[in-house]
């Protein structure tokens, strides 16, 4: 889960849920970020992550969990589930819309996903109803003794959101230098800004990869433990 829309009272965005573009901002007298972006649109960065896990359970058992949005979300150690609800009281199918209200740290996020494609015991594709692109593809394949689950996510990263991510001390120094550079060399400052954004996107990708791995491992443990 990478994306969500801005939440009234939620205090922020999900880690990857931008608008499709950023309008060139007016130059600020203090030479801040608006001045750095001036005269040129900074396009969103597309982020892709993927993880796989082998589970000692049948494809039908794995698929049943994958198609239970609330049960699957509650296994994600990175979030707390407040509410997960289908708009229709029926099994997940193509066209189904699921509402999520989740908490991550001190932030609360809401978003909806729509099931685009569903092939029993093989494939589930969903896309978030957001201003920007965010899609999830889950594939299952039988293997000796169980099922291989491959989870892929693709979304667009908002430059404004990337500015606030924690990064290395080197990147922070580059950020401070860039703001000073905006006074004397705006074009070079914009190039530096793009480099900083990509470094922050790479840092976010690593975090999300780790979180996805932990989520899939939790799914594996849940399915492999006998339930009464």
Q: pLDDT tens digits for 175-207?
A: 677 666 666 666 666 676 777 777 788 888 999
**In angstroms, rounded to a whole number, what is the distance separating the alpha carbons of residues 5 and 101?**
11
Query: Tell me: the pLDDT tens digits for 96-121?
Result: 999 999 998 888 989 999 999 999 99
**In angstroms, rounded to a whole number, what is the distance separating the alpha carbons of residues 167 and 176?**
13
Nearest-5° angle of CA 139, CA 141, CA 147? 105
Domain spanning 33-221: CATH superfamily: START domain (3.30.530.20)
Residue 27 has pLDDT above 60, yes or no: no
All structural domains of the chain with their residue ranges = 33-221
| Span 135-143, average pLDDT | 97
| Span 136-143, average pLDDT | 98
Check the CA dihedral 98-103-104-106 and report its sign. Answer: positive
| Span 53-60, average pLDDT | 97
Please, what is the average pLDDT of the chain? 78
Residue 72 has pLDDT above 50, yes or no: yes
Residue 133's pLDDT is: 85
**In angstroms, rounded to a whole number, what is the distance separating the alpha carbons of residues 222 and 132?**
33
Residue 11's pLDDT is: 35
Would you place residue 127 in the very low, low, confident or very high pLDDT band (cuts 50, 70, 90)? very high
Would you place residue 6 in the very low, low, confident or very high pLDDT band (cuts 50, 70, 90)? very low
**In angstroms, rounded to a whole number, what is the distance separating the alpha carbons of residues 21 and 64?**
37
**In angstroms, rounded to a whole number, what is the distance separating the alpha carbons of residues 155 and 92?**
23
Residue 179 CA: distances (Å) to CA of 26, 173, 185, 203: 15, 10, 10, 21
Residue 171's pLDDT is: 65
Would you place residue 29 in the very low, low, confident or very high pLDDT band (cuts 50, 70, 90)? very low
Residue 49 has pLDDT above 60, yes or no: yes
């Amino acid at each position: 889960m990478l994306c969500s829309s801005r939440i009234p009272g939620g205090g922020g965005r999900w880690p990857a849920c931008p608008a499709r573009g950023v309008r060139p901002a007016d130059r600020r007298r203090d030479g801040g970020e608006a001045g750095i972006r001036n005269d040129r649109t900074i396009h969103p960065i597309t982020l892709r992550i993927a993880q796989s896990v082998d589970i000692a359970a049948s494809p039908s058992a794995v698929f049943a969990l994958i198609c239970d949005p609330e049960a699957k979300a509650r296994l994600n150690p990175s979030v707390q589930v407040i509410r997960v609800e289908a708009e229709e009281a029926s099994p997940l199918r193509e066209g189904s819309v699921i509402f999520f209200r989740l908490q991550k740290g001190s932030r609360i996020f809401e978003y909806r996903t729509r099931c685009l494609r569903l092939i029993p015991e093989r494939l589930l594709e969903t896309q978030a109803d957001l201003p920007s692109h965010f899609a999830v593809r889950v594939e299952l394949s039988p293997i000796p003794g169980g099922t291989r689950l491959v989870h892929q996510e693709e979304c667009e990263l908002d430059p404004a959101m990337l500015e606030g991510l924690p990064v290395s001390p080197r990147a922070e120094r580059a950020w401070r230098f860039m703001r000073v550079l905006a006074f004397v060399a705006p074009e070079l400052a914009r190039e530096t800004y793009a480099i900083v954004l990509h470094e922050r996107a790479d840092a976010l990708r690593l975090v999300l990869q780790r979180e996805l791995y932990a989520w899939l491992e939790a799914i594996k443990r849940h399915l492999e433990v006998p339930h009464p």
